[in-house]
A and B are shown apart, each in its own frame.
Chain A
Amino acid sequence: MNAIEIKNLSWRYERAENYAIEDLNLIIEENQFIGIVGPNEAGKTTLASAIKGIIPSEFNGIYKGTVELFGKKVTDCSTRELAKTVGMVFADPDSQFTSMSVEEEISFGLENIGCTVEEIDERIKWVSELTNIEELLEKPPYDLSGGQKQRVAIASIIAMKPRIIILDEPTSMLDPISKDMIFSLLQTMKEKLKLTIIVIEHNIEKLVELSDKMILVNDGKIEKYTDTDVFFQDIEFLDSRSIRIPGAIRFMDMIDKDKDDLPTVHLQDIVKTIKEELRR
Chain B
Amino acid sequence: MDQTVKRKMHRTIIGFVPGESIMYKLHPVVRLSLYIATGILPLFIETPEISMLFIAIILILFVVANVNLNRLKIFTPMLITVGIIINLTYIFFPIRKEEGLVMFSLLGLDVNFYSTMWAFAIYLRIITLVLSSVFYFSTNRERDILVAMRTIGTPFVVSYFIGLALRSAGIFLEDYSIIREAEQARGLDVRNLSFLGKVKHFSMYLVPLFTLSIRKSDDISTGLFAKGTELTGKIDGVKRADYLRSKLRITNIDKAWLIAIILFTVTVMVVSITTGLLTIEGSWIFQSIEKYFFG
Residues of A with Cβ closer than 8 Å to B? 52, 54, 57-58, 79-80, 82-84, 87-88, 90, 92, 94-101, 103-104, 107-117, 120-121, 124, 138, 140-143, 156, 160
Q: A58, B225: Cβ atoms under 8 Å? A: yes
With contact pairs A140-B11, A142-B174 given, residues A107 and B228 touching in the complex (Cβ less than 8 Å): no
B224, B226, B242: most-surrounded residue (chain A CB, <10 A): B226
B222 contact from A54, A82, A103, A117, Cβ within 8 A: A54
Q: B235, A98: Cβ atoms under 8 Å? A: no
Q: Does B99 interact with chain A (Cβ within 8 Å)?
A: no
A/B interface sample: 5 pairs, CB < 8 A: A98-B167, A100-B167, A110-B241, A117-B246, A140-B13
**Closest-CB distance, B264 to chain A (whole angstroms):** 31
Q: A114, B226: Cβ atoms under 8 Å? A: no
Closest to B11 in A: A143
A97 CA to B223 CA in the complex, in Å? 8
With contact pairs A114-B235, A140-B170 given, residues A79 and B219 touching in the complex (Cβ less than 8 Å): no
B163 contact from A83, A99, A109, Cβ within 8 A: A99
Interface of B is mostly: helix
With contact pairs A117-B241, A117-B243 given, residues A141 and B227 touching in the complex (Cβ less than 8 Å): no
* B146: A residues at CB distance < 8 A: 100
**Closest-CB distance, A143 to chain B (whole angstroms):** 5
Q: A96, B236: Cβ atoms under 8 Å? A: no
A155 CA to B113 CA in the complex, in Å? 66
Q: Does B65 interact with chain A (Cβ within 8 Å)?
A: no
B215-252 toward A: CB 8 Å interface, digit per residue (1/0)?
01001111111111110000110101111101000000
* A87: B residues at CB distance < 8 A: 226
Known: A98-B163, A114-B240. 14 other contacts (CB 8 A): A54-B225, A80-B228, A94-B174, A94-B216, A94-B219, A98-B220, A100-B167, A101-B143, A111-B243, A114-B238, A115-B241, A117-B243, A120-B241, A142-B173
* B226: A residues at CB distance < 8 A: 52, 54, 83, 87-88, 90, 96
Residues of B with Cβ closer than 8 Å to A? 10-13, 141-143, 146, 163-164, 166-167, 170-171, 173-174, 216, 219-230, 235-236, 238, 240-244, 246
Q: B227, A83: Cβ atoms under 8 Å? A: yes
* B11: A residues at CB distance < 8 A: 140, 142-143
**Closest-CB distance, A136 to chain B (whole angstroms):** 12
* A84: B residues at CB distance < 8 A: 228
Q: A116, B241: Cβ atoms under 8 Å? A: yes
A140 CA to B143 CA in the complex, in Å? 9
Q: B219, A90: Cβ atoms under 8 Å? A: yes
A107 CA to B147 CA in the complex, in Å? 14
9 residue pairs, one from A and one from B, having the closest CB atoms: A83-B228, A95-B219, A107-B243, A96-B223, A100-B142, A114-B235, A112-B228, A109-B227, A117-B246
A94 contact from B12, B171, B242, Cβ within 8 A: B171
Closest to B145 in A: A100
Q: B236, A114: Cβ atoms under 8 Å? A: yes
Give the A-B contact count at a CB cut-off of 8 A.
124
A58 contact from B142, B174, B221, B244, Cβ within 8 A: B221
**Closest-CB distance, A175 to chain B (whole angstroms):** 15
A31 CA to B151 CA in the complex, in Å? 42
A124 CA to B12 CA in the complex, in Å? 23
B227 contact from A138, A142, A156, Cβ within 8 A: A156
Q: A98, B143: Cβ atoms under 8 Å? A: no
A101 CA to B142 CA in the complex, in Å? 9
* A58: B residues at CB distance < 8 A: 221-222, 225
A101 CA to B12 CA in the complex, in Å? 11
Closest to A91 in B: B219
Q: B241, A111: Cβ atoms under 8 Å? A: yes
Q: B228, A100: Cβ atoms under 8 Å? A: no
A95 contact from B12, B173, B220, B241, Cβ within 8 A: B220
With contact pairs A140-B141, A140-B170, A142-B174 given, residues A79 and B243 touching in the complex (Cβ less than 8 Å): no
Q: A98, B230: Cβ atoms under 8 Å? A: no
A98 contact from B141, B142, B223, B236, Cβ within 8 A: B223
Q: A90, B223: Cβ atoms under 8 Å? A: yes
Closest to A113 in B: B228
Q: A90, B222: Cβ atoms under 8 Å? A: yes
**Closest-CB distance, B293 to chain A (whole angstroms):** 54
Q: B243, A99: Cβ atoms under 8 Å? A: no
A95 CA to B238 CA in the complex, in Å? 29
A82, A90, A142: most-surrounded residue (chain B CB, <10 A): A142
Q: B235, A112: Cβ atoms under 8 Å? A: yes
Closest to B168 in A: A98
Closest to B223 in A: A96
B240 contact from A101, A111, A121, Cβ within 8 A: A111
* A83: B residues at CB distance < 8 A: 226-228
A139 CA to B140 CA in the complex, in Å? 13
* A110: B residues at CB distance < 8 A: 241, 243
* A98: B residues at CB distance < 8 A: 163-164, 167, 220, 223-224, 227
* B170: A residues at CB distance < 8 A: 140-142
